[in-house]
Structure 1
Amino acid sequence: MKIFVHFFTIFLLTLAITSCQKELHFDSVITSSGQAVGTLKSSSGNCLPNLVLGSYIKDSVLKPSAIIEVTADITSIGTYQIKSDTVAGFYFTGTGTVTRTGENIIQLSAAGTPSSGGTKIFTIKFGTSICKIIVFVDVTAPPNAAYTFTNCAGTIFGPGVYIAGNTVDATHTVTLNVHVITPGPYTINVPAVNGVSFSGTGTFIAATNTQVTLTASGAPTVASPPTYTYIVTSGTSSCAFSITVANPPNIDYVPQTNFSNWSSMLVGGTAADTTYIQVSTNSKTFGTNSYKIFEIKNMGTPTDSVFNRKNGGLYYQYIDGNLGVLTNPINKEYLVLDSNAAINGTWTANFGPNVAMGFPLSNIRVDAQILAKGETQTIASTTYNNVIRVKYTYTATVIGLGDIPVAEEQRWFARGIGVIRSSIINLINPATIVTETIRTQVF
């Protein structure tokens, strides 16, 4: 049977106390063994440093950026659970684990909605220590910051890689240089390009040169080229930055992306025994199915074709000829690989009656079995992972003689690459033909 090789990503407010507290209560906190031990105070009895971060506005739900940082001198490591009293409808809470003794900064997140403006005094307890922290609540939102973008060439990109079709995450960021003219809150939104937008919110606390980080959202639609350019503006200033989008890694066992190509060579043969296969940009339809055309080329000129399609983890090939030995063309597809099947999983393809070199056949059958999955194999000095090995037994049912095994073959399919090795044993005239992939380029 004619067998081909197929290849496959903070606002600081500290003010003097100017008003009274009207409400003060603590929710109970259950301690347990393994709890951290320490104090919020120094050896002199003064509260260790703390910071109030974020914006607090009357009748506005607090944002994730609304936090306080307290310093705790830890004497015994372990878990902690700290919660302030509730004042004017909001409070601070934090849980976690400290893994080293000495001074540790612990973040407490705000929750709730401030019900009144002015100075609020929160009581924080840790162990037997108690400290007061002052938070100022604005009656109305403060005026927005005024700033300009500077040194656009110094833009810093986060480590996230942009891949077509893959949703971005917190690693997909861009950090821009800004000169703050008037401190205050800011919100930056950069319109989507190719499915990805950027945004950032926060508060500039001083008139100075600083940086602002924007986080991406969405999923890139199309891979580069070209690069995709974004323009962010503030007043009359602007910055442009560009990102490159990569193609998603191919995870097919028989890749069918345009221009993917492979070279395979007969083991023990010469350079003349090299086969070059490339996926055409064209497709061909047989029946109701469309197949990618795999062109077998000699010096760039197609000399033969193989037709492949996939449906999920199922890979099919259409045979449109007589394989050079049959009287009648087969004109039928068969299942080459079921990548979802377990080890020892089997399937069978029947091609029906025919005539081979004068011998009447009632059937031609291919029996396939998964021999191994998830293997690592080295072929022609290249190591491949996630390899599936499949055994095919080719049987001709000769009228009057019954089933006659004609050949056995093993194919090794590497995920994202394709067939990396084929070994065919002729059972009629015992001989073995082995071909190995020596070069791949999968898009």
Structure 2
Amino acid sequence: MNKFTSRWVLLLAAVLVFWACQKEVSKEGTGLGGIAQGSLTDSSGSCKDAIVKGDYVIDQALTDSNYVIIKVNFTLQGKYKIYTDTLNGMWFIDSGFALTTGPATIKLKGYGKPILPNRADFVLTFNSSFCAFSVVATTTGGSSGGGTGTDYFPNTLNSNWTYEYLPKLGTLDTFRATVTSQTVLFDNKVFKQYDTNPLGEAYYFSKDNAGNYYALSTTDFDYLFIWDSIPSSFISYPFLKDNVAVGTTWESAEYGKVKFGTEVGVSKAVFTIMGKGITYSVLGTTYSDVISVKREIRFKPDGGSYRSLIEGTSYYAKGVGMVDQVIPAANQSVSLKKKQIF
């Protein structure tokens, strides 16, 4: 009888232990048999910096030295797969098991071989979160993430430009624009965020591999505003094209409703290439290989027709970015004082 009772006690203890383990597993997730959950972004929705390693040379297959280090926050244990799209003949991927929850560092291995000597903006996917990083392929190697030095509007991480308002904008004379690690995926384009201090405004710019540079913005000038109110969303449009001839004109999509004084209506920006390969001097510095672009802001009030409000000219130097933006009618310019390109 005592033996029988002891066996029942042992069996009951085993059942309780098994039940407790099951409860713990259900608390943490489905274990290694399930699908890991998590995000590439932090609690504020910001992407973490991706570190690109290795040289990327056209027609040379990627090796174990070609990889990207990323940050991910796992909220549920299980099997994961983190991958990119395929661009310029390359892609990056990693899969495995998340044994614990919380922040983790993941190494994505590169595959394929670069086809063209240009920059590819990869979109990174995990669950329903997306981030981005850039890889530059060259003919001889020596460059990985970021720009090539041939861009007219560089967007490598931490690159920054200090501009001066001439004349002062109220009490403000200078500000600095800095490329951050934040990105926005819009219209199948990866836009880098440029923070401005002390303006406190964020701007978003992108570039494709065909020489087109895009803004995700309002139909305003860069770092200057003319509208009294704007919609809650932005539009994407090319503000610079380094692949077209002088005299080429294009325009943004229609944007509205905007308010100008007491009028409400829609607007658009019209761009024209005025010069290419020119020399331009500003604040004591002379830049060569500059493209000048005229930007005309047009407005159509409700019940009316389009009219030109104001126009200005922006100057973009190769490997530097915007060096000047001159708006004669407003007697205003945004001129580059110094830069630091990474």
TM range (shorter): 0.5 to 0.7
**Residue in 1 that maps onto 2:162:** 263
* 2:306 alignment partner, SS class: strand
Q: Which amino acid is 1:439 matched to? A: K
Q: Note the residue ranges of structure 1 that are not aligned, 5 or more in a row.
A: 1-162, 168-191, 196-217, 225-246
**Residue in 2 that maps onto 1:329:** 232
Paired residue for 1:292, among 192, 203, 225?
A: 192
Output the CA distance in 2 between the equivalents of 1:382 and 1:432.
21
In the alignment, is residue 317 of structure 1 matched against residue 215 of structure 2? yes
Output the CA distance in 1 between the equivalents of 2:193 and 2:340.
16
* 2:157 alignment partner, SS class: coil
Is 2:214–2:237's contact at 8 Å kept on the other side of the alignment? yes
Is 1:334–1:349's contact at 8 Å kept on the other side of the alignment? yes
Alpha carbons of 1:320 and 1:287: their partners in 2 closer, same or farther (altered >3 Å)? Answer: farther
Q: Which amino acid is 2:213 matched to? A: Y
**Residue in 1 that maps onto 2:32:** none
**Residue in 2 that maps onto 1:433:** 332
* 1:350 alignment partner, SS class: coil
Is 1:265–1:436's contact at 8 Å kept on the other side of the alignment? yes
Paired residue for 1:367, among 265, 270, 273?
A: 270
Alpha carbons of 1:407 and 1:330: their partners in 2 closer, same or farther (altered >3 Å)? Answer: farther
Is 2:219–2:268's contact at 8 Å kept on the other side of the alignment? no
Q: Which amino acid is 1:279 matched to? A: V
In the alignment, is residue 402 of structure 1 matched against residue 295 of structure 2? no
Superposition pairs for residues 186-205 of structure 1, below 5 Å?
none
**Residue in 2 that maps onto 1:251:** 150
Paired residue for 2:249, among 346, 351, 360?
A: 346
Of Structure 1 and Structure 2, which has the larger fraction of its residues in helix?
2
Alpha carbons of 1:385 and 1:370: their partners in 2 closer, same or farther (altered >3 Å)? Answer: same
Displacement of 1:291 in angstroms is 0.7
Number of matched pairs: 205
Alpha carbons of 1:395 and 1:258: their partners in 2 closer, same or farther (altered >3 Å)? Answer: same
Is 2:219–2:255's contact at 8 Å kept on the other side of the alignment? no
Which 4+ stretches in 1 moved above 3 angstroms?
163-167, 192-195, 218-224, 268-272, 320-324
Q: Which amino acid is 1:275 matched to? A: F
Displacement of 1:350 in angstroms is 2.6
* 1:422 alignment partner, SS class: strand
Displacement of 1:408 in angstroms is 0.4
Superposition pairs for residues 77-92 of structure 1, below 5 Å?
none
Q: What is the alpha-carbon root mean square deviation over aligned residues? A: 3.2
Greater C-alpha Rg: 1
Displacement of 1:417 in angstroms is 0.5
TM-score with structure 1 setting the length: 0.42
Displacement of 1:334 in angstroms is 1.3
Output the CA distance in 2 between the equivalents of 1:340 and 1:249.
16
